[in-house]
Structure formats: structure tokens, C-alpha cells
Amino acid sequence: MKKIIIFILIFCFVLTSTGLAIDSELNCDCQEYRKLSLQEPRLKGNDVLELQKELKDLGFYEDELTSIYDWNTYLAVKEFQKERGLSVTGKAEKHLWLELAKALGKKPTTIQVDKKSPPEGEVLIVVDGYARQLIVYVDGEKYQTFPVAIGKPSTKSPVGEWTVISKNVRRGGALGVRWIRLNVPWGNYGIHGTNQPGSIGRAASKGCIRMFNRDVKVLYPWVEVGTKVKIIGRRDPIEITHNLRPHQAGKDVLLLQEKLREYGFNAGRTDGRFGEQTIEAIKEFKYIYGLQDDLIGDKNTLYILGIE
């Protein structure tokens, strides 16, 4: 038994030392990957929806987007395979997603030779959800732009100012070949590759930022733990239903931080964490407006900030 335990410990150490993830942090909702085929019960999910969208854009699928791998989806896959000279199986596997991306004209960014090494200077990443782009800034200057996929309307990407808290090399799959995790307090979000390259440029993920595998491999060494990542874009309305207190975290705290900033108080980064800078900002705010000095974001505070 002792030998088995020692072997397992050594195996885990080897995997982690080589950067291959066995990390519990990798339970991102985007990890959905299946070989799609016509079967009973019918397969249903975001991957099927993305397949239907791509086939529809190419003119092979003309029916309603159902997220269900039904007979019409099966026939559309077969027609695409026949058109592209592939084995006509009616199944959506890895090579089919790659062919769909090629047919849609989706391809990774061409990187200049002098940009293949990590840049010297402070790196900031800005994800523009409107333009579907990830922009790398170095010392405040635009350095490189990559196309990305963002969260779909029902699972939007987290708008805010985040920090990279871990990195992992991967073998592939739904998260691609690299994973860069962000410190979003209400979910497991990150920047990663994809096995569905045709989705790049769309609102298609479950909230994460997808990149071409080749692009994320370029980005990966440029990013360190602690790198700042700002995501801008559309988000759902945030409702605050209770008092906000120091050391709480969530979307409601992020809204409080945004409003304090609008009113000229430095609440720090809009990261959804009621930390020291937000505490100092609420303290100053309540002093100036003559409110009770208790560091609580109560109904009077929210009312003056225009949240209620």
C-alpha cells in the first residue's frame, strides 16, 4: 500500500512539474467536449448549438437552431463532409471542427518574429467584448491584438477588472492547450484555447474567453500570475438586495465599486471584492455625505449612489 501511495505522489508531482493540469481549478463550465452523433436519446447542449450556427453560416443547415443533434443536423453534417471531401459519417469530431473553421475563414493571428518572445515591460490585457478582441498592452502601448470568442448572451463573460491567479499547460480538449485563470469571485472563468476554432469571433462560450490554440500559446508566456485583465462588454443588470459589508465579494460589490468610482471615490479595481481600497472609499463617501460611519453599504448609501 505504501508503495502505491508513493507512486501516486510521484506521478502527481511529475504532472504538475511539467505544467500538465490535474488541478481542481480546471472545472470551468467550458469543459464540455463530446463527439457528436445522431443517437437516442438525442444529444443536446451548447456544442450542438455552435455546430448548427457554423453549418447555418455556411449554408448547410437551414432549420431552427435547437441545440439538439437531430436528423436535420445529422444531414447537414453529412452534406458538409461530402462537400469538403471528408469521410461522410454524420459525426462531429475534432477534424470536423477544424474544417468548419477553415471553411469560415477563421485562422490564428500572424505574429511578427520579434513578438514571439515575452515583451519587456508591464503587460495589461483588455478584452473588448464588443469587438471580440483581446488586446495586449505593454507599458500602456498597444502591443498585439487577437480575435476571441466571448460568453454567449445567456452566460456572459464577467465584465470587470481581474487578475491572473494561475496558469496551466494542457493537452487539448474543450479548453485547448493553455488555461489562464482569473480571480472572478462568482465563478471559474479564464482565458483558454478551444477545439471549436470556428466559434472565434462569436458570443459562444459559457463565459470564458476563447482563443485559437496557436494564439493562446503565443500569449501564455507573456502573462504572469498577477497580470491585470480588464473585460469590457455587455452584462446583465445587477440588483442589490442587502447591505454590503467589508470583505464580502460578488457582483453587487462590483456595482458598488463602479458607482463609487463614478462619484469620484477611489474604490480600487472593480473586482467585486470589498477590500481595503473599497473600505477607504466608502469611509470617505459616508463622511462627506454625513452618513453613519459604519463602513456598510446600506440603503442610504445605495440611494445616494443611484443604485436603488
Note whether 250 and 162 are within 8 A (CB).
no
CATH number, span 32-103? 1.10.101.10
Q: How much is the mean pLDDT over the chain?
A: 89
- Annotated active-site residue 208? The verdict is yes
Q: What local confidence, expressed as pLDDT, does residue 20 receive?
A: 40
Do strands 150-151 and 203-205 pair parallel, antiparallel, or not at all (unpaired)? parallel
For the chain, give every domain's residue range: 32-103, 119-232, 251-304
What percentage of the chain reaches a pLDDT higher than 70? 88
pLDDT on residue 24: 40
Tell me the mean pLDDT in the region 251-258.
97
pLDDT band at 109 (very low <50, low <70, confident <90, very high): confident
Residue 122 above 80 pLDDT?
A: yes
> What's the DSSP call for residue 190?
E
Catalytic residue among 28, 30, 95, 208: 208
249-253 average pLDDT score: 96
Classify residue 185 by its DSSP letter.
T
Rounded mean pLDDT, 245-253 = 96
Q: Mind giving me the DSSP string for 48-107?
A: HHHHHHHHHHTTS--S---SB--HHHHHHHHHHHHHTT----S-B-HHHHHHHHHHTT--
pLDDT band for position 212 (50/70/90)?
Answer: very high
Give the per-residue pLDDT at 32.
59
The per-residue pLDDT for 200 is 96
**Catalytic annotation present for 242:** no
Provide, rounded to the nearest whole percent, the portion of the chain with pLDDT above 90. Answer: 80
Is the pLDDT higher at 94 or at 129?
129
Identified catalytic residue from 95, 192, 242, 247? 192
pLDDT of 257 over the 60 cut: yes
Cβ 197 vs Cβ 106: under 8 Å: yes
The tens digit of pLDDT for each residue in 6-54 reads 444 444 443 433 344 434 445 566 655 689 999 999 999 889 999 999 9
- pLDDT score at 171: 83
Confidence of residue 58 (pLDDT cuts 50, 70, 90): very high
SS3 helix, strand, coil % of the chain, rounded to 5? 35, 20, 50
Give the mean pLDDT of 96-105: 94
Question: Which single residue is written with the C-alpha cell 432549420?
Answer: 63
Which 8-state DSSP code applies to residue 205? Answer: E
Query: CA 235 → CA 50, 155, 157, 159, distances in Å?
Result: 21, 9, 8, 7
Query: What separation in angstroms does the CA of 243 have from each of 49, 92, 186, 252?
Result: 40, 49, 18, 10
What average pLDDT does this structure show over 53-81?
Answer: 96
pLDDT (tens digit per residue) in 135-181: 999 999 999 999 999 999 999 999 999 999 999 998 888 889 999 99
Residue 82's pLDDT band, with cuts at 50, 70 and 90, is very high
pLDDT value, residue 46: 87
CB 172 within 8 A of CB 260: no
CATH superfamily for 119-232 is L,D-transpeptidase catalytic domain-like (2.40.440.10)
pLDDT value for 23: 44
